[in-house]
Chain A
Amino acid sequence: MTFFNEARFLIKTNIRDYGMYIALFVIMLTFSVLTDGLFMSSRNISNLLDSAGYIAVLAVGMTLIIVIRHIDLSVGFVAGFLGAVAAIFLTQMGMSVWLVIPIVLAFGIIIGLFNGFLVAKIGIPSFVATLAGMLIFRGALLNVTESTGTIIVNDDLFNALGNGFIPSLVEVNGLHLLSVLVGVIGIALYIYSEISTRRNKVKYGFDVISLPIFTLKLVFVSFIIGYITWVLAGYNGFSWTVVIMLLVVVIYHFLSTKTVLGRNIYAVGSNPEAAHLSGINVTKITMIVFGSMGMLAALSGILFTARLQSATTTAGTLFELDAIAAAYVGGVSSAGGVGKVTGAIIGAIVMASLSSGMNLLGVGISYQYMIRGGVLAAAVIFDVMTRKQRG
């Protein structure tokens, strides 16, 4: 097979996976042109990623929820409520950040497990169970912020999670050294893992893509990581939000693709009855997925509170729908069993890019909603079309 034929074949068979990357690229390019490059400026990209953070972590959890054919509407106000709880712990009870974060995450897990219990054990449809949760936690959020109103958080360490950047060590030519290092290490790890995977495949005697294509892929992805690093290092470097987001993606990507647990989650989503008859404990898997969703909702609440440096009475409003939209844009399928964690992050960044780009262009908020809705619809249409094509 010649180079171009192979490339064409790979693109054709993986169009579904590449689709959203292409979409993101097109959106970024369009805004860059329309804003004379302002969109791709270090400052804007840094802000954009930070603003995507608290939705992105929700979208990761939501993707797995949708993969197992459920939905979680409660996550928005759970995030809002737990963000407020974190603020109360920090300000009114004077607890240390190092204590508050694990406690709040644990609360999130408990709430998620309770949702999972209602859905998996009692058999309440997840839409209804989590709709109830949405109302309850909205009330709970109002209840804890009622007497004080907005709770201002003064803890710098905590606020850094939403606003701070990793230390720069030394600035070289206006670039933050540590961030550059992180990027370089990222590229090195990426190249190493790709090469070792390839070697392993060769060892087993499996087909691998040809060397020129492989090299091209390595160079291309390395360039992208390098470019983003360079862009970010030119402003304040990697923010803690981005670091946390990357960690969540790496961990969840590994869990969902490389572990027995992940495989079981997708099996349950693909055919719950067959999963049960294959010895998979569907109840347990459902509980775990909802538990993880609760934990990520707590994390989202922490990031949001830290970003605003305060807990407000309306925090978390519509987060759940933004997360669901991001998950769908990222390629998850409501029929179950299909959807990637990496897709969820890209979906969240696509949605954040749209907001950011349109804000820069001064597009009215009314049109912004319409355009974002259109993009969501387009993503799902693309999903349905490519699936038809596949059979």
Chain B
Amino acid sequence: MRDYILEMNGITKEFTGIKALDDVNFKVERGEIHCLIGENGAGKSTLMKVLSGVYPYGTYEGDIVFEGEIQRFNEINDSVKAGIAIIYQELALFPDLTVYENIFAGNEIRKGPFVDWNETIVQSAKMLKKVKLNVDPETLIKDLGVGKQQLVEIAKTLSKDVKLLILDEPTAALNENDSENLLELLKELRSQGITCIMISHKLKEVISIADKATILRDGKTIVTLDAHKGEISESVIIKNMVGREIADIYPKRLDHQFGETVLELNDWSAYDTQLGRHVVKKANIQVKQGEIVGIAGLMGSGRTELALSIFGNPKKYKVEGDMQVNGRKVQFKHTSDAIKAGIAYVTEDRKGNGLFLINDIKNNITAAHLKGISQSGVLNLNEEVKVGSEYRKSMHIKTSSLELAVGKLSGGNQQKVSLGKWLFTGPKILILDEPTRGIDVGAKFEIYTIMNELIKQGMSIIMISSELNEIIGMSDRIYVMAEGAITGELSRENTTQEAIMELATQ
């Protein structure tokens, strides 16, 4: 008889006629790391929301059996009391408070009616030790990197006597180093008897860490794989996720000749006046027509800053050095100048600064190039619908209507809208910052295909990515950055992940 800490039996959850979950069965054994995998919209988040009481008992069908008892969670607090804790992708920390205040926020250690701050600090230090985070508990959260913040969040959870820890894409925002640390920590916690459910898009992580993996597709449980029986491998997971074989997740492209140099940076530096340091240091970069240039590096290595300093310098860095577009020296005062010169920048943070979430799809697609649908300042709204439909078709945006708010789309479709928005400006140089972060394998493949299509049409692409596979799989040439400087240039043929990591950690 197996010892299941959690059994979810026959869970069905409907949203106005659409079955988000359809008779899902999900069993987690005590003390294992169980990965939950599926394309966006497969129902992972919904399942976790049912488990944590976000969707209260009675709004779904089926049973949740936790620690041998049928649970009826009416709100999140009920599941927390039972010992279930979820850490979401977007961290819920207070940036202006200290580490110790955050760890015990909402769970304060009291002495009579007052908070016992001394005890809080002592206890926090213990928690930090548990998660192997070596920082002063009095540090402010905003002064920590994302990786360390993630660990603080876990420490916070551990302070609450948790039995089942759920992590929603914990490494999505982390660089490779921090990711590895986190995975190590999860293994450590497993040895201490904490059961863990991890939602992840990164198959490599799943393979390295999972005892079991359950795959959801279209709201149904497809299969549960057991690593100890040797059932987990990348191809098996992908096959089950998408229901078809993907031989190679990077589409083949024919060899082609590159054209003239379209973008050239010479001794290009950017000084961030707020941080009081150089974020880009004497970078020398060349991009040829029809080329995909990858920019690799750890988080905080200055990749996004480099892109922003090229794209009209919206952060108002002090820039030095010269930039040439099509052989002509240029200086952009505003992002609109960069757009005019044929540069487009698809941001890393779709929701934060990429899209207008409350506005509809067609609005978003035309937002950066209203000239294309207007005459002397007056819009042609019918033309806008036409443009919207064209991009909906060419980008394969899956939506019921062009008038749907972009915020309601899945991550992959949002990214396609974002891409469509920039393609409508008719760019010559397209900068893609983490173009496939947080989107599912199927959508990734579509975006790679679109990229290949674009360079065939003569566009040049600069792709910033934290996924080494993606960088190697897609780039013609790779620059590696570390601490704001370009530490090396690698060609497509003789690149390995190790070579990149070596340069990135210089």
- Which residues of A pack against B, CB within 8 Å? 200-201, 203-204, 206, 258-261, 263-264, 266-267, 270-271, 273-281, 335, 337-338, 390-391
Contacts and interface: CB of A to CB of B under 8 A. Distances in A.
B358 A277 contact: no
B371 to A, nearest CB: 7
Contacts of A258: 378-379, 381
Contact of A206 (B335, B385, B408): B385
B359 A277 contact: no
Nearest to B350: A274
Residue of A200, A279, A390 with most chain B CB atoms under a 10 A cut-off: A279
B341 to A, nearest CB: 11
Given A273-B353, A274-B355, A391 B407 contact: yes
B355 A271 contact: yes
Nearest to A261: B377
Interface in B367-403: 367-368, 370-371, 374, 377-379, 381-382, 385-386
Given A270-B359, A273-B352, A278-B368, A204 B407 contact: no
Given A259-B377, A278-B367, A271 B353 contact: yes
A200 B379 CA distance: 14
A324 to B, nearest CB: 21
B221 interface: no
A278 B385 contact: no
A276 B359 CA distance: 16
22 contacts: A201-B382, A206-B382, A260-B379, A261-B377, A263-B366, A263-B367, A264-B370, A270-B356, A270-B358, A274-B347, A274-B354, A276-B353, A277-B353, A278-B367, A279-B334, A279-B340, A280-B336, A280-B367, A335-B358, A391-B405, A391-B407, A391-B408
Given A260-B370, A338-B358, A391-B408, 9 more contacts: A201-B382, A259-B374, A259-B379, A277-B353, A278-B368, A279-B312, A279-B339, A279-B425, A335-B358
A261 B378 CA distance: 9
Contact of B347 (A206, A266, A275, A277): A277
B382 A274 contact: no
Interface in B140-165: none
Contacts of B382: 200-201, 203-204, 206
B370 A263 contact: yes
A276 B370 contact: no
Nearest to A333: B358
Contacts of A275: 356, 367
A279 B336 contact: yes
A278 B379 contact: no
A201 B345 CA distance: 33
Contact of A259 (B334, B345, B366, B378): B378
A206 B370 CA distance: 21
Q: Which of A259, A278, A335 has the most CB of B within 10 A?
A: A278
A337 B368 contact: no
Contacts of A261: 377
Contacts of A206: 382, 385
B377 A267 contact: no
